[in-house]
Structure 1
Amino acid sequence: MLQTSVPFVFMRGGSSRGPYFKRSDLPEDLDELSKVLVAVVGSGHPFNIDGIGGGTAVTTKVAMLSRSNDPWADIDYFFAQVGVEDRHVDYRPSCGNILVGVGPAALEMGLMEPAGDITEVKIRAVNNGMLVSGHVKTPGGTVQYDGRSSIDGVPGTAAPIRLQFMRVAGSMTGALLPTGKPQETIEGVSVTCMDVAMPMVIARAGDLGVTGYETASELDANRALLRKMEAIRVVAGERMGLGDVHTSVAPKFGLLAPSHEGGTACVRYFMPWNCHPTLAVTGSQCLASCLLAPDTVGEGLIEGPHDTPAAISLEHPMGKMDVLVDYEETSAGFQIKSAGLLRTARKLAAGEVYVPGTVWSGAHSKVMPAEM
């Protein structure tokens, strides 16, 4: 059977995982690229049984890397969210968890060389233009994966990767508050439409009839809640200038509640049609900013005033995520300057993934035996 082989590195980035490719090893045309990625992941089956996806939205993500021609950046990072069952590929958002693995993957692929014990990898997220500085441990010119840093939602410990996100406000819409208002009412619910690293619709959990302390599976089982949030999200997407978002994963939906486990506040993040098992890196920045910004649905959930940068600890279904938000309040209003996080990544596998030749007969074709 003729199949097309594509070199890849398989990485866990933060609390997500997926294949990392060189962009040049994949089709340029987006329609053709989508068919290839659907085949790679095995989209169209709940277990992704005919691909390397993991049957959940956090394990059907793809990163495509190339050397950047941006004067600031080293690496261009192009992200794709592949549907688990609907065979749809969304290129509109970016993903902060998968971004955690970009630095190590770029070094593993030879897209840049290590520089000392810690290598700074300057990343441009192609999907939204966001700039991120990642610091990867590279003692002896080799990426270090073992270490003592832990992140909730991932077992064990690993080497830390420090990320600093710049130009995060208006990531897809061009504005911190895309509707021009810090708060508005949609479907009878007060929400804040905010765009920091990821456009989001944010509400207080209590206003949707839940506590915000439920597990991810409990929220996924609440079909009435999900239908209500989706109705709000679709209207919000139009108001935010994102058009018809019925088939797009952006904007995401977030719920806020008072702290329950000693953090700054409790949050639940939706992807958007089910609850994230932990919390997205991009979403964490938007939710933290909503808690700090005046007149939003987050106002009053945390005590102020706050130092800047502000250390915000967000409780999620499997623990906490800490975000450092550098902001200022001037006569021009509330402004986000940057956001920082510490995460981990690990190389899981490397080699070639095979795509049916009927899907794509690219440059890396190999003839495989009819029976294995």
Structure 2
Amino acid sequence: MTQTAIPYIFMRGGTSRGPYFRRSDLPEDLDVLADVLISAIGAGHSLNIDGIGGGAAVTTKVAMLSTSDDEWADIDYFFAQVSVEEKLVDFKPTCGNILSGVGPAAIEMGLIKPKDDQTEIRIRAVNTGAQVVAKVQTPGGELTYDGDAEIAGVPGRSAPVQLSFMGVVGSSTGAFLPTGNLRDTVQGIDLTCMDVAMPMAIACAADFGLTGYETAEELDANREFFDQMEAIRIEAGELMGMGDVSQSVTPKFGLFAPAKDGGTIAVRYFMPWKTHPTMAVTGAQCMASCALTPGTVADGLLERAVASPAEIVLEHASGKIDVLVNFSNEDGFSLSAAGLVRTARKLADGHIYVPQSVWDGS
């Protein structure tokens, strides 16, 4: 046998998909692990033709699960963002969409036993330390993917997965406002640099000469905008204390515009080198928090909620996503938890094969 077989479950989580592994079935060394994931996904080719990636950043994501030794959590969730066209793996961020599938995958793997009609699973996001409670539908003690929940960017209906995120403020940089400011000006563009679930640099679409209602395809074709945005993102990363982020997918970048379809505010989210076709769950929490915070770049674009919890409806490139935010304004804005509803579905299972020259399984 010239290849190493690795058990996996292939799942859609929210508006992303990828392989879900037991952490114990993969190498401990992160450099070797990165090589394994690059091979499994087929990173380094636009079609990921030699792996199971789908040729887009939302389809080259990896979840690795294990029973947690944390006294609060049931499951540890370790995330990896694998690049599409470069042989790179980023272990810094987490992904809330892929997290949508962690509860069901943990049950599928036998790491969690279903309880009653709904199973509550406490998940620790290893990359950031965030605590997430997932409520998974298990009628009669059996996992189901059938249901009536719909999310923008995914066809059909599925069983809802309710997610409640805690401990997400400063999860990557240690601060709600990593630069210490509600606004910074970088290369002539006003930004709010914020770290809630995902470190982000957020600006107004109009400051780039955009409406904020462009499709993902229209934005991806605007290379002049992407070049300007990337230069600003890299400088913002330095200001946020994240060092050289030119090879990292964080901080992410986001744009605001006034809502035009009955939502709270219109948003566009970048991964960062392509436009997200929908909206990241982690990014949604950060952008919702920014929208709620007085003094940020969202000023003048919405009518802010004053009572907690607040339902923030973000209009993204494919529809809407609702974020329920528990917050306080007593001593400046502070967030205690954010909740969302996602869906997930098991697509396949079996083994992924990587060359033994990449990893021999030891």
TM-score class, shorter: over 0.9
Q: Distance in 2 between matches of 1:171 and 1:79?
A: 14
- Tell me the residue number matched to 2:342: 343
Amino acid in the other structure paired with 1:263: G
TM-score, length of structure 2 as denominator length = 0.99
1:58 is aligned to 2:58 = yes
Q: Distance in 2 between matches of 1:300 and 1:253?
A: 20
Q: How does 1:43-192 map to 2 (within 5 A)?
A: 43-192=43-192
**Cα displacement string for residues 188-220 of structure 1 (whole angstroms, at most 9, x for unaligned residues):** 000000000000000000001100000001000
Report SS of the residue matched to 1:344: strand
RMSD over equivalenced CA pairs, Å: 0.8
Amino acid in the other structure paired with 1:307: A
Q: Distance in 2 between matches of 1:176 and 1:208?
A: 25
**Cα displacement string for residues 65-90 of structure 1 (whole angstroms, at most 9, x for unaligned residues):** 00001111000000000000111000
Amino acid in the other structure paired with 2:76: D
**Cα displacement string for residues 116-158 of structure 1 (whole angstroms, at most 9, x for unaligned residues):** 1100010000000000000001112221101111000000000
8 Å Cα contact 1:62-1:82 kept in structure 2: yes
Q: How does 1:243-282 map to 2 (within 5 A)?
A: 243-282=243-282
Report SS of the residue matched to 1:65: strand
**Identity of counterpart residues, as a percentage?**
64
Q: How does 1:268-307 map to 2 (within 5 A)?
A: 268-307=268-307
8 Å Cα contact 1:292-1:299 kept in structure 2: no
8 Å Cα contact 2:292-2:305 kept in structure 1: no
Amino acid in the other structure paired with 1:342: V
Amino acid in the other structure paired with 1:71: E
Shift of 1:262: 1.1
- Tell me the residue number matched to 1:353: 352
- Which runs of 5 or more structure 2 residues have no equivalent in the other structure? none
TM-score, length of structure 1 as denominator length = 0.96
Shift of 1:305: 4.2
8 Å Cα contact 1:3-1:357 kept in structure 2: yes
Report SS of the residue matched to 1:330: coil
Amino acid in the other structure paired with 1:218: E
How many correspondences in the alignment? Answer: 362
Shift of 1:168: 1.1
Shift of 1:339: 0.2
Q: How does 1:222-261 map to 2 (within 5 A)?
A: 222-261=222-261
Q: Distance in 2 between matches of 1:344 and 1:14?
A: 5
Shift of 1:353: 0.7
- Which runs of 5 or more structure 1 residues have no equivalent in the other structure? 364-372
8 Å Cα contact 2:65-2:76 kept in structure 1: yes
Amino acid in the other structure paired with 1:341: L
Q: Distance in 2 between matches of 1:355 and 1:260?
A: 48
